[in-house]
Structures are given as structure tokens and as C-alpha cells.
Amino acid sequence: MHILIGTLILIFLRWQFLFAEIIGGLVLVTISSILIKVSYPDKWLKEAREKVKKEGPEIEEDFDWKKRIKSKKGWRMVGNSFVNEWKMVWEEILIGFTIAGFIAVFVPTEFWNRIFLIEISKSLPDWFVALENAMVAPLVAALTFIGSMGNIPLATVLNTNGVLFAGIMGFIYSDLMVPPLVAVNSKYYGKKVALYIAVIMYISIVLTALILNGLFGAIGILPESSKVINEVARFKIDYTFYFNILFVLLAGWLIYLKKGYVEMHSSESNDMNMEGSTSLKRKVVYLFIAILIGGLIINAVV
């Protein structure tokens, strides 16, 4: 999952954003750990652990990666995990790219200028604009209801429209507090803990984005602009085309391994028991597929 996100960041944004994603992840974990340690009620922690222990799946104790990497069963488990991961994220990717396309075309630049103070940024202190961008971007991300890789094309739209580096990184990290994830946390840990985690994540995201903005500015690698989506989405016969062919073949092999994994089990009860799609999200996916197909037909006719 993280490799896929990193690849999208490198393609749609720049290497600075990928570097920030890696370094910022460590900073984010450190900040959130400290905040949780000093503020998390012991009673909530005990209740959450009991709830997960009671309702969660049993964890396999005899994990040995050296054995698995040498066995057919281990590679079939890799194929199974690969397919399950894509089952979890393909909807977010489709929704994210479709919304990003509509936003890039139909949302005027003035809208972003106003909510991110771009028009008046020169008359305000740099630290204040960076703080505002870092605080607003996660809220914009939460309103999109998109997490994970679906955030990257939208981050490209924001960056193209002049949102600061602090805001872009805050937006990218905000998949940790989008409503669907809060709903999942609520199911496993309870509503109080889920809201607490969302607040901690928001504070940690803002602080991490500001730290990255200051650090990158101090060492002179702060990016000012990014590629436009249509520049990276254009079809060309180049090295990416051949890489795509290579990874399509690799994906086909992993799907074949998934088939072998299923054949090894009488049922798929051992598959990853992850949270499924909500009916609302699935309806949105079908709607966007219909819109995209309609757009292709209109483009072909016109």
C-alpha cells in the first residue's frame, strides 16, 4: 500500500513530496505517540483493548518469514494479500481520480485562493499562511471522504493552484482522519476512542506538516509548484509504458497465486477480514463509472 502511494506521489507531485512522506511519517508517529501518552485516559485504553480482544480475529503466532519466502504456500499468501489490498483501494482510487478531474475543470482558482489565503498571502506573515494551509487542508480532505491513494490526484490539483507545501502534506496525511476510517475505528474501538484518535491525528498532521515545511525551507528544497494532472495523465510510449506492461504481467502472476491460495482452502475464511465498502460508497463508484463511460462515448462521437 505504502509503495503504491509513494509511486503516485513521485509521479503526480515531486521527489520532495515523496521524501517528505517518508520522513514525515516518522515525525507523525512520534508526535502522535507523545500526544497519546500524555493525554489518553487509561480507562479508555483498557476498554478499547478488551473490545478488540473480544471481537477481533485471532492472530497467528507461528509467523516465520524465512519459511514462507521459500514455500509455495507463502507466495500464494502474497498473491492473496495483493488481491485483497486492491479490493480495498480500487474504489478510493476511482473516486479520487474522478473527483480530481471534476475539481480541476470546474472549481475556479479563486475558490482555492480564498480558502488558502493565496491572494492575500504576500500581506500576511509566512508562518501564518503556512499554519492556515496546514489546518485547512486536512478539513478539505475529510470533506472529500477519500483516503489513501485517492488523495494524491486531489493534492496535485491543490498544489497546481498554489497551496503551500505545508497544506499539501497536511492533505496527503489526512487519510488518517477521513470519515470512513473514523467509522471503522468507531466499530472496533467505540465512538469516544474513534473521535479521540481523529483529533489526535488532526493535531499531529498539522504539526508534522509545519515541521516539514520549516525543515525543507531551511535546507532549500521547498517545492513551489507541481505538475498539472493532464501533463502526467497523457499516454506516451516511453519507459512508463514498458513498466506498465511489466507490472501488468506481475499483477497477473499474483492473481494466479491468489487462485492457488483459494484452492488450498475449502473456503476463504482465512482471507483478510477487512471492512467492506459501504453501500453509499459503492453507489458512488457505480455512478462515477457510468459518468466516465458516458464521457468516453461523448468524446468518441464528438
44: nearest Cα among 180, 274, 199: 199
Question: What angle do the packed helices 42-55 and 179-189 form, to 10 degrees?
Answer: 80
Classify each residue of 247-266 as buried b or exposed e, where b means 16 or more C-beta atoms within 10 Å of its C-beta.
Answer: eeeeeeebeebbeebbeeee
Whether the per-residue pLDDT at 273 is higher than 50: the answer is no
Is 143 within 8 Å of 103 (Cβ atoms)?
A: no
In the chain, what percentage of residues exceed pLDDT 90?
11
pTM of the model: 0.64
pLDDT in the model for residue 67:
76
pLDDT category, 225, cuts 50, 70, 90?
low
Show the beta-strand stretches assigned E in the chain: none
Give the separation between CA 93 and CA 11, rounded to whole angstroms. Answer: 15
173: nearest Cα among 195, 132, 204: 204
Q: Nine-digit cell at 44?
A: 479508555
pLDDT category, 274, cuts 50, 70, 90?
very low
* 56-60: average pLDDT: 53
Q: Nine-digit cell at 20?
A: 517528505
Q: What are phi and psi of 140, to 5 degrees?
A: -60, -45
Give the separation between CA 140 and CA 152, rounded to whole angstroms. Answer: 13
Give the separation between CA 35 and CA 29, rounded to whole angstroms. Answer: 10
**Amino acid letter, residue 61:** E
64/122: higher pLDDT: 122
pLDDT in the model for residue 234:
58
Write down the residue that cell numbers 504576500 correspond to.
Answer: 122
Highest averaged pLDDT of the listed ranges 20-29, 46-55, 265-274: 20-29
Q: What one-character DSSP code corresponds to residue 123?
A: G
Q: How many helices (H) and strands (E) does the chain have?
A: 14, 0
Sign of torsion over alpha carbons 28, 29, 33, 36:
positive
In the chain, what percentage of residues exceed pLDDT 70?
77
pLDDT category, 132, cuts 50, 70, 90?
very high
Instruction: Kindly report the average pLDDT of the chain as a whole number.
Output: 77
